[in-house]
Amino acid sequence: MKDTSPLSPSAAPATGPIFRAFQERTASRGRWGWLAVPVIGMGLWWLAHQELTPPARAHGPVRGIQAVKSGMTPDEVSGLLGRPFGQRTSDDGRAECFQYGRPTMEKATFPVYSLCYEGGKLREMTVKQYTALPLTPDGLPQLPGDAAPPAPAANATKPTP
């Protein structure tokens, strides 16, 4: 008996509309193929002529002292850094300077920023690193490596003059 199932290799090929897509070849590349080369070329030219921009910061927008620019007003700077903790006049007497920072005893050093304004615009910005040192009972700074002074005795009496 002859096997005539559609899956058998001896079955005659079907020529119906279902299999016509596999038998006919269409020339679709002829219509739009010529357009691919100029489009890709223009895209590469455009990429080559773009200005390189720095990558976005991983930590979000610029904040704090990095956002302060020359020419800003004291109000603009205070909006970024908060209220200053100190104020002075510059050494030449022409500018008003404000100190910003967060002095702390939790870290060994901390920065203090001095921003000087002349004519209401930021003219100069300097930074100084300060060291937070514990104080001795006498009020002097205890340097690293110094032994702590002995605590005064609780029942010690003051010598009489």
3-class SS string, 25-42: CCCCHHHHHHHHHHHHHH
pTM recorded for the entire structure: 0.47
Helix (H) or strand (E) holding 101: strand 96-101
Contact 132, 107 (CB under 8 A): yes
Average pLDDT value for residue range 1-18: 56
Q: Residue 128: beta bridge partners?
A: 112
Q: What's the pLDDT score for residue 116?
A: 93
* Cβ contact 122:147 at 8 Å: no
The 3-state DSSP class for residue 10 equals: coil
Distance set, CA 92 to CA 84, 89, 96, 100, 106 (Å): 21, 8, 10, 20, 35
* Reported confidence tier of residue 142, pLDDT bands at 50, 70, 90: confident
Give the domains, in start order, of the chain with CATH numbers.
Answer: 64-131 (3.30.1450.10)
Alpha helices in the chain (DSSP H): 20-23, 29-48, 74-81
- The owner of tokens 């008003």 is 96
pLDDT in tens, 54-96: 555 555 555 788 889 999 999 999 888 889 988 998 888 889 9
